[in-house]
Amino acid sequence: MNLKSLASRKANGEAIPGKELATFIMAYVDGQITDDDMTPFLKSVHSNGMTIEETIAFTEVMLNSGDRVQISGIDAYLADKHSTGGVGDKVSIVLAPLMAAAGLAIPMLAGRSLGHTGGTIDKLETIPGFEMNLTIEQFKSNVENHGICIMGQTDSICPADRKMYALRDVTGTIDSIPLICGSIMSKKIAEGIQGLVLDIKTGNGAFMNTMDRAVPLGETLQKVGEAFNVNTDVVYTSMNQPLGRTAGMWCEIEESMNALKGSGAQDLMDVIYELGSKLLVQAGVTRSETAAISIQENLIESGKAYEKFEEMLSAQSGDISNLTNINSPQFEKIITAQSNGFITSMDTLNIGWAAVDLGCGRRNKSDILDPTAGIEFKAKVGDQVAIGDPIFRCFNSNENNLNSAIKCLVDTITIDQEKVVHTLFYNP
């Protein structure tokens, strides 16, 4: 077999058999196939797509390129959640301990910031001492003993994805549905989970910015999950404005802790409860999503959800005992409304890039994150404002970066005279 011919065959619309695909990708992992050889293949997939059979085969190759987590000795439903990326999306930080408190077991491999979106790992690393770089054995032990563990991807899990993802980032193939599916689902299946809920973001701040793009992704992810016997639910949520009250680093951890204590922003909690309900029904905890919401509310009101968060932190050496002085920013500025009326839209994409400029993400791999950086949203879509009212509070510990972010934020809101209602959930 001429491995290098796969790119031209895919460019001609040919479906590649699974065995050939496996040989090709493993040759890339082993260094027999170079980035220069892989690039035409990725671009061909980006242009021509894959059949569902190819996508499943591709996912299996990615999965089998490394180790799988085998969790045993625990009588609990193994589940996880994944979001396609958003601004202010700290759902995982709240949902994971909430589900663990409900009796599910949550083995979560989380990611870092991508483009204008924040990364769960980056945020959690603002907690002093919190250890994200665990061995697979440590990961398994924490899930078996505490019902929860969140860590970064290891070198041994889906190495094909790790190597290919870096190349996708520089070849303009990030938004290819088959490549997205292979990347997401291989890592989730490697966790050994029984169930999964997917939060597919759509809107001006999402990678899939319309439902016409979001739905095919959601449907394909669901088909791949079911092909590997993983119960997979899909929820479509809006990224036409940031989620919650903050976007950034430590500030999102603080907001997540407040949410677990019962003071979460309404839109944030609505998304959490919707995703959590899917998992609780999957697990057989209840048959009713309405009852599932009540279960989650009670776990927060009783303090059990926050206790599970603290248990997770303790198991991974995190220390939040000195909250007053943790990650305090040195600089801050307020952006105010320039007219009277209602906020009718927010440019979430550029708000996300402003957060990156503050120090919440990376434009280059070498960029250093600022744990103190973030944006607080004083008003959002539907809120009435008057001239001079605060809209954004921006903060970090680098004044030059702060000024750069301010320039990016100035024109990210629209104020008009008629009130609009922000739609949070979408039906396909």
133-153 pLDDT per residue, tens: 999 999 999 999 999 999 988
Cα–Cα distance for residue pair 345/349, rounded to 1 Å = 12
Model confidence at 361: pLDDT above 90: no
Q: Which residues are catalytic?
A: 82, 161, 168, 183, 187
- 213-256 pLDDT, tens per residue? 999 999 999 999 999 999 999 999 999 999 999 999 999 999 99
Mean pLDDT to the nearest integer, 405-419: 95
- CATH assignment of 331-416, among 3.90.1170.30, 1.10.10.60, 2.60.40.10, 3.40.50.460: 3.90.1170.30
Looking from the CA of 71 toward its CB, the CA atoms found within 13 Å total 28
Mean pLDDT to the nearest integer, 162-185: 87
- 385-395 pLDDT, tens per residue? 999 999 999 99
Mean pLDDT to the nearest integer, 107-124: 85
With a pLDDT cut of 70, the percent of the chain lying above it is 98
- Which regions of the chain carry the CATH code 3.90.1170.30? 331-416
Instruction: Give me the pLDDT at residue 112, please.
Output: 78
Model confidence at 132: pLDDT above 60: yes
Mean pLDDT to the nearest integer, 13-39: 89
Model confidence at 274: pLDDT above 90: yes
Looking from the CA of 52 toward its CB, the CA atoms found within 13 Å total 13
H or E element in which residue 19 lies: helix 18-29
Mean pLDDT to the nearest integer, 196-215: 95
Mean of per-residue pLDDT scores for the chain: 93
pLDDT bucket at 383, cuts 50 / 70 / 90? very high
Q: How far is CA 109 from CA 185, 188, 213, 248, 293, in A?
A: 11, 7, 25, 20, 25
Contact present, 343 and 385 (Cβ < 8 Å): yes
Instruction: Give me the pLDDT at residue 46, please.
Output: 93
Fold of 79-315: Pyrimidine Nucleoside Phosphorylase; Chain A, domain 2 (3.40.1030)
Q: Are strands 195-202 and 106-110 parallel, antiparallel or unpaired?
A: unpaired
Contact present, 79 and 105 (Cβ < 8 Å): yes
Model confidence at 362: pLDDT above 60: yes
Map tokens 């479509």 to a residue.
236
Q: Which of 132-141, 194-203, 295-304, 331-340 has the lowest mean pLDDT?
A: 132-141
Phi, psi of 355 (to 5 degrees): -60, -40
Cα–Cα distance for residue pair 151/147, rounded to 1 Å = 14
Model confidence at 172: pLDDT above 60: yes
- Which regions of the chain carry the CATH code 3.40.1030.10? 79-315
Model confidence at 178: pLDDT above 90: yes
Angle at 28 between CA 22 and CA 33, to 5 degrees: 120
pLDDT bucket at 365, cuts 50 / 70 / 90? low
Sign of torsion, CA 135 139 145 150? positive
Instruction: Find the largest Cα–Cα distance for the chain.
Output: 68
Model confidence at 321: pLDDT above 90: no
Contact present, 205 and 349 (Cβ < 8 Å): yes
Buried b / exposed e along 11-33 (16+ C-beta atoms within 10 A): eeeeebeeeebbbbbebbbeeeb
pLDDT bucket at 1, cuts 50 / 70 / 90? low
Instruction: Give me the pLDDT at residue 33, please.
Output: 86
Instruction: Give me the pLDDT at residue 57, please.
Output: 94
Model confidence at 117: pLDDT above 70: yes
- 324-360 pLDDT, tens per residue? 667 899 999 999 999 999 999 999 999 999 999 999 9
**Alpha helices by DSSP H, 102-148:** 120-124, 136-146
Model confidence at 301: pLDDT above 70: yes
From 92, 100, 145, select the one nearest 123 (Cα to Cα). Answer: 92
Angle at 47 between CA 45 and CA 50, to 5 degrees: 40
Mean pLDDT to the nearest integer, 78-89: 95
Instruction: Give me the pLDDT at residue 323, please.
Output: 64
Q: Which of 29-43, 92-106, 289-303, 313-327 has the lowest mean pLDDT?
A: 313-327
